[in-house]
Amino acid sequence: MRDKSTANRRLTTYITPQRSYDGLTIIGASICCGALSQELFVEVSNSKNVFGILFFFLLGVLLPPVLWKIKNKVIVFKGRYAVNVDSIVFLPLTALSEEVIWRFILPALLMNLWESIAISICVSSIGFILLHIPLGGAKSTAYMSLFTLITVISYFAFGILAAIAFHISHNLFIHFFHPLKVKEFKTKPPVLSETDW
């Protein structure tokens, strides 16, 4: 009986709402990629500029710390425990899947309804923002709007790979670092061996 409850506890600690969302997003993107593989292959093979992709990758890393510094926060590394299955597997694959779904697949499908790329992008962008409101509440709408604007610009300027690079680097940075108010940030005194140096 105890072994069964321990196994169930392990299963429930592994299957969280976030991982369930990540898994469904990756499966959904895989199905969409299979259905529209030819169009997606043309899009990926037409990546215009490697430097543009690298620029948006770097921008994904720089966006959170710049905004945190503007808000007078200290950037703190979450620690070695942040390196886990989520950071290595689910986080990059989910970011890739979300970009494929929300920047490529959904606008392409919505084009059949409105025949306007601007309306299709706006509708898919609003859907993306609404999907992410539960993560930070209504106050995160401005940040998610900025994030979405940058991914749309990167997509139109340099293709889907630039949007994917921005999204992955942004999510990885937020996974490994978090902001703290200056008053809450406390430095620890050096250990005895360090004072001896």
Percent of the chain with pLDDT over 90: 37
pTM for the model: 0.81
Catalogue the E-assigned strands of the chain: 73-77, 177-181
Q: What's the CA dihedral at 165, 167, 169, 173 to 10 degrees? A: 180
Burial class (CB in 10 A: 0-12, 13-18, 19+), 122: middle
Report the pLDDT value the prediction gives residue 10, as an integer from 0 to 100. 59
What tens digit of pLDDT does each residue of 15-27 get?
777 778 888 888 8
What tens digit of pLDDT does each residue of 126-148 get?
999 998 888 778 888 999 999 99
Eight-state DSSP code of residue 84? S
Q: Are 43 and 104 contacting, i.e. CB atoms less than 8 angstroms apart?
A: yes
Q: How confident is the model at residue 194 (pLDDT cuts 50, 70, 90)?
A: low
